[in-house]
Structure 1
Amino acid sequence: MTALGDLIEIDDRTLLVVGQELDLTRDRPDVANALVHRAGDTLVIVDTGVTTAFRAALREAAGRVRPWSRALVLTTHGHLDHVGNNDLADALGVPAEHWVPAPDLDQMRDPVDYWARAFERVAGAAVLTDPAGTAARVVALFQPMRPFGETTRTYEERPLELIRTGPLRSTGWTFADGAVRVLRSQGHCAGHVIVHLRDPGVLHLSDEGNGPCGPMADADQLKIQSVLGAAALLLEEGEVVFLTDGHTFAVRRGAEAVSHLDGLLEQATALGEASLGLVGEGEEVAPGAFTARYAQVMADLGVGGANPNTLFTAMSAVNQLRELGLRPESGAADAPWSRPPLRDPEPAAPPPPADPARVKIVQTGRLGSTA
C-alpha cells in the first residue's frame, strides 16, 4: 500500500512520486503521480501535483537523483491535480524551463469556469442543481494552486518535430539532447501530452490511461484508445520498458504493462457494446436513467478508472452517449437524448391549386359590381 509522497525507484536516477485519490466526502483533493528523472546534468520533473506535502516529496526526490545543474519541468495537461506546484521550477536554484500545453491555458487560468462547464453538461445525468457552485467548491480543495512561474512557456512556441520511436511515428518536442520526448496525445483533454524518458525506457501516460471512457468535456475517445494501442506496441517492441501514469500508483513493466493496456481497450469495447444495449434502437434516452444503468454496467464489467465518484461516472456516461451517436434534443439539463435523423423530414405537401372558375367569380364580384 502506497501513500501520498512515497517514492518508487525505477532506477538510480528515475523515481515515481506517488499521489493520492480524490475523496470529496472528506474534502481531500486528488494528487497526480509525478516523475523525477536526471538526464545528464538536467533535473526533469514531469507534473508537480498539488499540496505542500507533495511539493516536499518532489524536493526529496530531486535530492535523490543529484547531481544536476539545470532543471526542466514538464506539464502533461492543465488539470488541477497536475499543476499546483508548477512554480517549483523557479525555486530550485538553477537555470530552469517550464513548459505547458497551449490548449490548456484557459483552464489553468480559470479552473472554476472549466469545471463549471464540465458539470453543466451533466447536470441532468448527475441530478446536479448548482454546477457553478459545485465547481467552485471542488476547485477550492486544490491549494496552494500555482500553475505558472517566471519561466513558463508553451510547447507550441517550439517548432513541432517528427519523433521516431522504433516503429512509432509521433509529433511533439524533444529536450535534453533527445533524452526526453514529449509526444502529443490530446485524448484525456485538449492539450494532453505523454512523456517518454529514453534512457530508462519509461513511458508516462499521465491521464490517458485513466479508464476505458474519458469523462472530460474536451476528451477524445479515439485518441485515448490510439494512445493505449501505441503504448502497447512500444512495449512489445522493447522501445519502452516501464509504464507509468497519473493515478494508479504503480510502475508496470513489460508483459504486465501490455496486459494492463489490453485490458483497458477490452473494457472500452465491452462498455460500448453494453451501452448500445441500454440505448436501444430509435428511442429517446433520459440522461439520469441512462447514467444509473451505465453505473451498474460498469460495476458488472468490473470497469475501474481514476477517482471513481458519481460526478465522473455521469461525465463518462454522457460521453458514451455521444460516442454512440446520440445528441441532446434541447439545451435543458434533463433533455432526452436521441439519434439525429439520417435525412431531413419530408417537406409539407403544397396546398391544392385553386379552382379557376371560383377565382373568376370572386374577381367579377369584387371588381365589376355597381350595386
Structure 2
Amino acid sequence: MKYDYIIAGSGCAGLSLLYRMLKDSQLSQKHILVIDKDQKVKNDRTWCFWEKGNGLFEEIVTHQWETLEFLSDDFQRKFDMTNYRYKMIQGIDFYDYVIGFAKQFDNVTFASENITTITSFDGFAEVVTDNTTHKAMYVFNSTSLFYPKMNTENSLLQHFEGWVIKTKTPVFDKNVGRLMDFRLSQEHGATFMYVLPTSETEALVEYTLFTEKVLEKEQYKVALQNYIKSYLQIEDYEILHTEFGIIPMSLAKFSRKVPNGKNIINIGTAGGFTKASSGYTFQFVQKHTENIIDLLKKEKHPNPTLTFRDKMYQWYDRTLLEVILSNKLEGKEIFATIFKNRDIETILAFLGNESSVWEDIKVMSCLPIMPFLISGVKQL
C-alpha cells in the first residue's frame, strides 16, 4: 500500500507531527503510517521546557513552575518569571495521549518494524524494514539513519540519569524548580543537577553532564546519592522511577534535507532540532512541526527554509559549543555568568530562539569577548 505520509520513528518529533496532522481538518484524512521498532509503553523520558501561555499539550503537563533557581559556588538566585512557565511532561503521558488519539482514525496505521533504509525516488519515498517495503509521498524521518559523523573533536554528549524520589515528610517547595545547580565537581566537564519538585514530597533529581563520553553506571548512582544526602539533606526516601538519556551536542550539521532525498524530511534531532548548546528539544520540535503542517496545507514542499534568524541562532549555538570544546571557558563559568548578570525572561527568550536582536546583544555582552570572538569567527 502507498501512503500519503510515513513517519519513521515514534518519539517526540514523530508523534508531535502525527498529532498536528490529525488535529487539522485538511490533513486528518490522509493515509499515514507510523513505523518504530519499539512500542511506546514505557515512561522512558521526561521533557522539560519553557513556554508562554498554554501549549498544544497543556492537558498532559505534569507540573509547572513560575519560579526557577540557579546555583553556583559564588551565588544563588531565584527568578520569578512573568511571561514564561517551566513545564514538565512525562514520556508515557505523551505517548498514551497521542497514540490514544490516533487510534480513533482508521486512516492511521502503526507498525512495529525495524527500519533498514529510507530512499527517495521521483515523486515518492520508500522505507525498507526487516519485514517489508512501504511507500509514501513523503517520509518524515526522526531515526539516526542520516546522522552526520560525530566524534570527540566536534561533539559533546549531554548524558543524564534522573531519579523521581519520594520522601516520608514534606521537604520540597513545589513552586520552585531548580534549573541548574553547578556546585558539583567539574572534573568530567560541565556538570550540574536539576531538582524539579512536583509536590512537597516528590521531585525529579537529575544528574546531567556535557562531556565527551558517558560515565560508568555506578558513578551516576553515587553522584545522585551524595547530592540528595549532602545538598538536599534527605536521608530517608524512596526511588519511584529512574531514567537515563544521551543527547548529542554537536558542531556536525544535522540537516533537515537528505542528499538526493527530496521526499525525505528529517525531523527532531535528525533534523537539527536539538539545540546544540543546551540539548533542549521539545519546544523546537513543536515549532518545526507546526511549520511543516502549514506547508502541507499549502501543498508546498514540507521542509521549512531556514530564516536568517534561524541561521543566527545556529551560529550562536555553534560558537558556544566550540568555546566549550576548545576549553576556552568551562560550561559552568558561561552559564553562571549569564544567570548572574541577566534577567530570566531575557535568558529564556535567548535560549529558546525567541529573543530580539537587542536581547541577543544583552546576553552576549556579559560574556568574555575574546573566547567568543575567536570561536564565532571560526564558526562563520
Q: TM-score, normalised by structure 2?
A: 0.30
Q: Which structure is richer in relative contact order (CA contacts within 8 A, separation 6 or more)?
A: 2
Structure of larger gyration radius: 1
Higher helix proportion (structure 1 or 2): 1
